[in-house]
């Protein structure tokens, strides 16, 4: 089956099963699934039950699509994403984003668990993504362009909505929540970066690093969505005194940071 036909098949199935159609989508990063309050859930679908939909295999990703109502807004919540390091193609990595775009989603909220590269940033805090660096070596727009999805050469001079960034800063100020601002870099993974790589990424201007988000942002921008990105800083990378870290430690810190993310997202969505 052609790639576009697969996306359309998933979209058509969800269109029949979800009502009303959401205008907001949220992708939750590793260990950040606690955002979902069962009292707000209208529907939940396992990824494997959606025709042609990929299945998330990464730890800390539930592999479920939630349809929730929060502050009177209908929202698609992807609890689980797809990564290049799992062996997924760029097409599969951005699959959910494209399905959401076809469903009419205009606002996309991207979250992730990331390592802090900026020495002034502390682990356990949130960072507003102002721009990104694609260091994955991949791009979801390579190959045939679907003109009804977006232009062949989409402009990337302002991927992340300035209006949504300003709202994020205002919300954080209103609830007295620290919110760093910085540039996020995506690597392919799954190995974590070395001290020498950390120095290079910092020299490139990156403030936080992770293995997701950027390809999704590219696909969303291609489809004309308004995007805001939030990184939960789970560890700190200082190249001159790198301490060993593990997946378990990163996920544990992500779960702790989840409380701040939940507070922020609740207020942010209320003000959208």
What residues pair up with 110 in beta bridges, in sequence order? 27, 229
Q: How many CB atoms lie within 10 A of CB 127?
A: 24
Q: Which of 23-32, 42-51, 180-189, 212-221 comes out lowest in average pLDDT?
A: 23-32
pLDDT of the residue at 18:
95
pLDDT at 172 over 80: yes
Q: In the predicted model, is pLDDT for residue 58 greater than 70?
A: no
Residues in Cβ contact with 7 at an 8 Å cutoff, skipping those fewer than 6 apart: 52, 95, 98, 99, 102
Q: Rounded to an integer, what distance in angstroms lies between the CA atom of residue 100 and that of residue 86?
A: 22
Domain range annotation of the chain: 3-271
| pLDDT tens, residue by residue, 59-68 | 655 789 999 9
How many other C-beta atoms are found inside a 10 Å radius of the C-beta of residue 152? Answer: 10
Of 148, 132, 142, 153, the C-alpha closest to 227 is 132
User: What percentage of residues in the chain have a pLDDT greater than 70?
Assistant: 92
CATH superfamily of 3-271: Nucleoside phosphorylase domain (3.40.50.1580)
| Residue 168: pLDDT band with limits 50, 70, 90 | very high
Kind plus residue range of the DSSP H or E element containing 271 = helix 247-271
pLDDT recorded at residue 259: 86
Answer yes or no: is pLDDT of 243 > 70. Answer: no
Q: What is the pLDDT of residue 38?
A: 86
pLDDT-based confidence at residue 241 (cuts at 50, 70, 90):
low
Is residue 150 classed as helix, strand or coil in its secondary structure?
coil
As a whole number, mean pLDDT of residues 222-240 equals 90
pTM above 0.85, yes or no: yes
Question: Residue 259: is it exposed, middle or buried by C-beta count within 10 angstroms (0-12/13-18/19+)?
Answer: exposed
- Kindly report which listed range (35-44, 103-112, 206-215) carries the lowest average pLDDT score: 35-44
């Amino acid at each position: 089956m052609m790639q576009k036909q697969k996306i359309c098949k998933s979209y058509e199935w969800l269109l029949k099963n979800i009502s009303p159609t959401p205008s907001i989508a949220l992708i939750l990063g590793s260990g950040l699934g606690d955002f979902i309050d069962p009292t707000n859930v209208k529907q939940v679908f396992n990824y494997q039950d959606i025709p042609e939909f990929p299945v998330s295999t990464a730890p800390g990703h539930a592999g479920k699509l939630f349809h929730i109502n929060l502050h009177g807004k209908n929202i698609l919540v992807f609890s689980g994403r797809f990564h290049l390091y799992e062996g997924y193609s760029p097409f599969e990595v951005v699959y959910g984003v494209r399905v959401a775009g076809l469903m009419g989603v205009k606002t996309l909220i991207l979250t992730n668990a990331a390592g802090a590269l900026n020495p002034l940033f502390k682990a356990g805090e949130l960072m507003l993504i102002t721009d990104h660096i694609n260091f994955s070596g991949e791009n979801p727009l390579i190959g045939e362009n679907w003109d009804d999805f977006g232009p062949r050469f989409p402009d990337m001079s302002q991927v992340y909505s300035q209006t949504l960034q300003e709202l994020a800063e205002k919300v954080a100020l209103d609830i007295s929540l620290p919110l760093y601002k910085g540039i996020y870099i995506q690597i392919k993974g799954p190995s974590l970066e070395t001290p020498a790589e950390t120095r290079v990424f910092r020299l490139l201007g990156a403030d936080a690093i992770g293995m997701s988000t950027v390809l999704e942002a590219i696909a969303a921008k291609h489809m004309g969505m308004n995007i805001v990105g939030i990184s939960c800083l789970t560890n700190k990378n200082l190249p001159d005194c790198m301490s060993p870290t593990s997946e378990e430690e990163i996920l544990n810190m992500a779960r702790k940071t989840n409380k701040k993310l939940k507070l922020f997202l609740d207020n942010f969505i209320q003000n959208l």
